[in-house]
Structure 1
């Protein structure tokens, strides 16, 4: 066992970037296996999880690492979704370019919002971003000739290119459906974002963000420019939200104000808290809870004899109970609890080995 573990360690790259790439490649293999062994309904759920995850990991950079509380990420996702809808409505614009343009446009909005937010702290920042989340959907109604009003804009969903279809047929022996392709598109984007953010978090910028979060005065005395640091974190987080909104628009095939209410912003923040502040993997776990818990609770309520309406109303209650329990039992979130359990197992194993040696 020791020889096997030593050989496995030698296969792991020594650099942080190499380990992150290896982790991303391993996760991609898992995604392929899951998507090829599940039905179309799960493909739809996994596609939904992908855009929730992209937005949540971006919010983790802002809130978990830099300490800025944002309640307006739903509005930033709306910017990305509407940008994608407008671009895909034009002939000849590839969806890859629409993704990049959505991230770039939302990053520009993030510069403006982040510059104002850099002067605010705590509840004042939360209140300002809350106003953004509440007011942004009204812009679509005001500019209804461009943005479609309450009905929103229909989005032309991309189809799998021939090379991708041929590649998946060669690997799996079967064709690929449109919903499955959207799940691949969303998860490919999510894994790329997670690898890039993991490298960024491990870099000098990540250390500066954590320093500002932990002690602003000490960071400023060390020469850190607080305003620039906060704006940079907001821009990175906004770009991720724009990407998430773009994927959402392609998956749902619609960009409408009803999809970007304050509930979306609160849900993203809840996912970050439940998963564990500052953990990219934890943000993904929290997003999975957002996607899979409500339908599971609804099905249990229906099986218990509740009506469809009452069973659907039960889901937010259970999610709220889960949130309260996590905060009380594991203040550091699900990932913090997993780390503590793993550390206790390792300590117990070391103690047994030392006892056996003695």
Structure 2
């Protein structure tokens, strides 16, 4: 398998590697209990969003603080479409595919609007627009409560395990399969875009927009397209979360969560798909690990309640500071450093021992 991957080049190698990793992740679900499979499904959904965000910030240089709102848009688009198709009597598989496409399209349209703003705004002004978007999510759910159901959100029909697999896997494992498969497709697509000519144009605009324009790169079009691509990935993640939890509500997509997504991609390494995977795992597993550790310690109940919401934020902040001081390139840069060290050791010539002559 390694020989086949090393023989491939360009997009073919990326697609083959994505397929292999997806199959391995699906196979790994047999080693996990139901709750761990639920966590894996959540990590896969977050991975879609983090990969799109790291492409946007790391490759095109555009900062977005509102990707949680794009996730919410994908989740609401999926939920509304699935409920409408259920009333029309559409089957579960076709209903899921159409709902997923609707969620991606809804988030992509919102990303298009943000991209048009991004073509005219830079730095803190663009960050302010995206920040206002995520703050407006609860207000939008309240204003359009007849459709979005306000703070309670929207529930969707239960989608169980398909009939041929019901005796083989549990529902949490099936949800993990779906989430991993969607993440595999979305992230592979993002990796192909980032490694191709579009990725080169994004990096050219990021490094020097004036020079990119002088060389024939349509900077505004690149910025808009980058936002649409990143927003579509976030919409896919939100739709997967809705599929797993069978509901969508504004309370799940807060400002704190949106900022946490940015922290995750910075910790993992901007512009790195592997770094986005590391950041996604941290977002899901670190709060759970901190909660489990706090529950195991003899901590007073009132102190434990205060720590429940604040301690993970404190830990993420400390990790961010330490990472920026020690490894500014993120945790993914450790792997690149180890690889360079091993390559340098392998290419270093063997020392030549001096020869001695014996006097007769």
TM-score exceeds 0.5: yes
Give the structure-1-normalised TM-score: 0.91
Q: How does 1:81-230 map to 2 (within 5 A)?
A: 81-90=75-84, 91=86, 92=90, 94-163=95-164, 165=165, 175-230=168-223
Change in 2 beyond 3 A, CA 1:13/1:262: same
| Contact 1:302 1:311 (C-alpha < 8 Å) held by counterparts | no
**Match among 7, 12, 17 for residue 11 of structure 2:** 17
| Contact 2:74 2:234 (C-alpha < 8 Å) held by counterparts | yes
Helix, strand or coil at the partner of 1:355 = coil
1:248 equivalent in alignment to 2:244: no
Change in 2 beyond 3 A, CA 1:89/1:207: same
1:257 equivalent in alignment to 2:277: no
**1:70, distance to aligned residue in structure 2 (A):** 0.2
- Name 2:331's counterpart in structure 1: 334
| Contact 2:5 2:17 (C-alpha < 8 Å) held by counterparts | no
- Name 1:80's counterpart in structure 2: 74
**1:8, distance to aligned residue in structure 2 (A):** 4.7
1:35 equivalent in alignment to 2:5: no
Structure 1: gaps (5+ residues) = 1-6, 167-173
**Match among 235, 260, 266 for residue 267 of structure 1:** 260
- Structure index of larger Rg: 2
- In structure 2, distance between residues paired with 1:20 and 1:119: 33
**Match among 305, 321, 325 for residue 309 of structure 1:** 305
- Name 1:171's counterpart in structure 2: none
1:316-345 deviation per Cα after TM superposition (whole angstroms, max 9, x unaligned):
222221111111111011111221122123
Large movers: runs of 4+ above 6 Å = none
**Match among 318, 321, 331 for residue 324 of structure 1:** 321
Segment of structure 1 superposing worse, 92-101 or 311-320:
311-320
- Name 1:66's counterpart in structure 2: 60
**1:137, distance to aligned residue in structure 2 (A):** 2.4
**1:11, distance to aligned residue in structure 2 (A):** 5.5
Give the structure-2-normalised TM-score: 0.90
- Name 2:358's counterpart in structure 1: none
Structure 2: gaps (5+ residues) = 355-360
1:144-189 deviation per Cα after TM superposition (whole angstroms, max 9, x unaligned):
11110111111224223335x27xxxxxxx6111111111111100
RMSD: 1.9
- In structure 1, distance between residues paired with 2:144 and 2:15: 43
- In structure 2, distance between residues paired with 1:315 and 1:72: 20
